[in-house]
Structure formats: C-alpha cells, structure tokens
C-alpha cells in the first residue's frame, strides 16, 4: 500500500486537537486565613481558566470581603460558608458552584500559594485526553522537587502515601495529601453525593471514594512552592485520626470490592490466608499455654504451627498482588457524560 493510500487510515486514528481555551476549566480556591497569598493565587490563574470560585470557609479574616474589595477579575466568584467546614467542605462547595455555572473540569488550588499554577495545563491534560477522571500533583517524582520541602514533611508524606495505597487501592499513586488536583465534572457530581471527609483527610478520602467508583487517577509531576505561609495542620493531632480512617477505609474497601461487588481468586486467597495465619498463631499460643515448664517443642509441633503460618502469609501476599494489579484502567467519565446526554434528550 502506498503512502497516499495509508494517509486516510492514519487520519482516522489521529486524535482530535485538544485546546485549553473553551475546555470549561474552572478553579476552586478554598480560603481560610490566606489573605497574604490569595490575591497572588488569583492573579496567576491562566487566561484560559473560565472561572474562579473562591470559597470563604467562615474565615475569621474575612477572605471573601477582602477578595471582592481587591480583585476586579470578572471570572472570580466568591461564595461564603456560614460555618467552617474544613478544606474538604469548602472544596465540595466550590465544586457545586462551579458545576452549577457549567464547569466541565474543576481544578482545586489552595489559597496559600504553594501550588505553581503554571503546571495547570499539565494537570488537566489527562482528563481532556480522556485518559483519566482525576489528576493530582505529585511532588515525589524528582529529587529536585523535594529540595524545598521540609524533611519532616518528606518523611510524613512518604508514610501517608503507603497507608493511602493500602486503604484506597491506588497502588501506583503517591503523595495523596497533595491538594493540587483536577476532576472531571461528571465524576465530581458523583463524589458530591458521597460522604467524603470534610477536614484534612479530604484528599485521601476522596481517593477512596474515587476507587469505589472505579475512576482512573493519574499522577502529574509538579513541584511544591514553599514560602512564609503557615500551615493549619498540627501533625500530632492528626496521626491517630488518620490511622483510624485509613483502617476503616481499608476494611470497607476490601469487603465491598472482594465480597460484595465481586468474589474472585483474591477473595479466596484472603479468606484462606487469614484462616491459615490464625490457625498457626492460635496453635502456637495454645501449645505455649498447656506445655510443661521447660518442655521443648517437638518437630511436629513446630511444623503444625509454622507451616500454616507460612502458607497463610504467601496467600495474603498473592491477594495483595492481585489488588495491586486490579487498579481501574478505563476512565468512567465518557460513560457518565454519555448517560447524562441520553437522559437529557429523553426528557425533551
């Protein structure tokens, strides 16, 4: 076949040109004690962003009034919450307002100017290309990205990232607490219907709920910016609650994913592995409780305790391997948007 004959076929597979202008991208900025930085955040919003929702989360500094008094950008919309709802509650309120105004993609950026908005195009690209339903920044893709980050935050984020992998099922995702995110509008509407944590656990809990929807999540390499901003997070006060929430989400995810919505080989491996480990540990403890003082364990006793334990651990590792490979791979927003379009046509 000649090159001229191949050209029409190549054109059929060519992806349509994607543009940021007119893509329906809105920015959501939760505002709580960020008066020193929020004007810079708004000023740095790219020109192709169609709207900016600033959410005054019952800020004692009056962030909403401050923004309205100093910002003339017609894209800016200020909404005020009567009670402080935390970063999650403010973000969800911003999603709802942006959705009501026709947003197709919603980018969440904190008002403390830690996020380089010059990377926003890279953040929304996986959604525009139909490759992801949700995209988030990842500061851990390069050592150069980590140099400005305090060492305590590096260690803390690494530990939280592993816990989030276990509890959410997104084993290839890192830096779960990164607040620079983008979400497709149809998926955001489904998220707003769910009971997502409203406080500092919001970003991680959002990943858990996205996993329940089988949404595709993409990491985007984006360095953090650190200046004189003051974090509202107190590490000592969140360690215990975060650990409990991770454990709760993990148990709920495993039960829902492997025993309610499906029952597969990983379900069998998990049940068998837990039973084998429990038998091995129980047998060993029972023998220790009934043995005579100074009595040594026979080879049979050692094998009866250790062999089920070894087999059980292997089965649990196999179940974990299945879980790692079971991450969502097909975006759900094209299906959700097609269903919404058909339902709208049916109502006419």
The pTM of the full predicted model, rounded to 2 decimals, is: 0.86
Structure token pair of residue 169? 């099922």
* Greatest extent of the chain over all pairs of C-alpha atoms, in Å: 90
Any residues with CB less than 8 A from the CB of 290 and at least 6 apart, and which?
none
Residues in the chain predicted with pLDDT less than 50, given as ranges, are 3-4, 7-13
Rounded distance, CA 216 to CA 219, Å? 10
Torsion angle, alpha carbons of 286, 289, 292, 295, to 10: 60
Mind listing the pLDDT tens digit for each residue in 261-305? 999 999 999 999 999 999 999 999 998 888 888 788 888 889 999
Tell me the residue length of the chain: 348
Domain layout of the chain by residue ranges: 15-255, 263-342
In our burial notation (b when 16+ CB lie closer than 10 A, e otherwise), range 178-204 reads bbbbbbbbbbbebbeeeebbbbbbbbb
C-beta neighbour count of 243 within 10 angstroms? 12
User: Phi-psi region for residue 113, left (φ > 0), alpha (ψ -120 to 50) or beta?
Assistant: left
Give alpha helix (H) positions in 14-150. 38-43, 63-70, 86-100, 120-128, 143-146
* HSE-up (13 A, CA, CB side) for residue 54: 31
Rounded distance, CA 315 to CA 317, Å? 5
Rounded distance, CA 110 to CA 181, Å? 10
So what's the pLDDT on residue 142?
72
Structure token pair of residue 122? 């890279």
Contact 29, 54 (CB under 8 A): yes
So what's the pLDDT on residue 11?
47
Give strand pairing partners of 53: 28, 77
In our burial notation (b when 16+ CB lie closer than 10 A, e otherwise), range 227-241 reads eebeeeeeeeebeee
So what's the pLDDT on residue 238?
62
So what's the pLDDT on residue 7?
46
User: Phi-psi region for residue 169, left (φ > 0), alpha (ψ -120 to 50) or beta?
Assistant: left
So what's the pLDDT on residue 248?
94
Mind listing the pLDDT tens digit for each residue in 16-63? 567 898 899 999 999 999 998 999 999 999 999 999 999 999 999 899
Structure token pair of residue 306? 């250790």
Give strand pairing partners of 107: 27, 182
How distant is the alpha carbon of residue 26 from its chain centre? 19
Q: Token match 């904190």: residue?
A: 110
**Architecture label for domain 15-255:** Alpha-Beta Complex (3.90)
So what's the pLDDT on residue 296?
84
């Amino acid at each position: 076949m000649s090159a001229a004959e191949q050209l029409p076929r190549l054109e059929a597979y060519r992806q349509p040109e994607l543009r940021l202008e007119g893509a329906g991208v809105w920015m959501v900025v939760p505002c709580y004690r960020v008066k020193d930085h929020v004007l810079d955040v708004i000023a740095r919003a790219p020109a192709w962003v169609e709207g900016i929702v600033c959410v005054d989360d019952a800020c004692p500094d009056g962030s909403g009034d401050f923004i309205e008094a100093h910002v003339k950008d017609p894209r800016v919309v200020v909404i005020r919450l009567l009670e402080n709802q935390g970063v999650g509650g403010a973000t969800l309120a911003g999603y709802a307002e942006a959705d009501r105004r026709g947003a197709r993609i919603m980018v969440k950026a904190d008002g403390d100017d830690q996020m380089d908005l010059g990377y926003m195009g890279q953040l929304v690209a996986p959604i525009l290309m139909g490759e992801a339903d949700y995209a988030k920044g990842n500061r851990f893709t390069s050592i150069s990205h980590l140099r400005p980050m305090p060492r305590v935050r590096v260690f803390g984020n690494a530990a939280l990232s592993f816990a989030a992998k276990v509890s959410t099922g997104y084993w290839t995702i890192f830096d779960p607490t990164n607040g620079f995110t983008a979400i497709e509008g149809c998926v955001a509407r489904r998220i707003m219907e769910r009971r997502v944590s409203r406080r500092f656990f919001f970003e991680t809990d959002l990943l858990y709920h996205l996993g329940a929807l089988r949404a595709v999540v993409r990491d985007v390499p984006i360095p953090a910016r650190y200046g004189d901003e003051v974090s509202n997070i107190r590490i000592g006060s969140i360690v215990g609650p975060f650990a409990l929430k991770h454990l709760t989400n993990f148990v709920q995810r495993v039960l829902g994913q492997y025993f309610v919505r499906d029952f597969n080989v990983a379900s069998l491996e998990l049940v068998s592995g837990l039973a084998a480990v429990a038998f091995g540990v129980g047998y060993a403890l029972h023998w220790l409780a009934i043995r005579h003082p100074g009595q040594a364990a026979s080879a049979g006793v050692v094998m009866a305790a250790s062999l089920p334990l070894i087999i059980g651990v292997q089965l649990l590792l196999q179940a974990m391997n299945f879980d790692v490979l079971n991450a969502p791979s097909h975006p759900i927003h094209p299906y959700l948007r097609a269903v919404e379009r058909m339902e709208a046509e049916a109502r006419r």
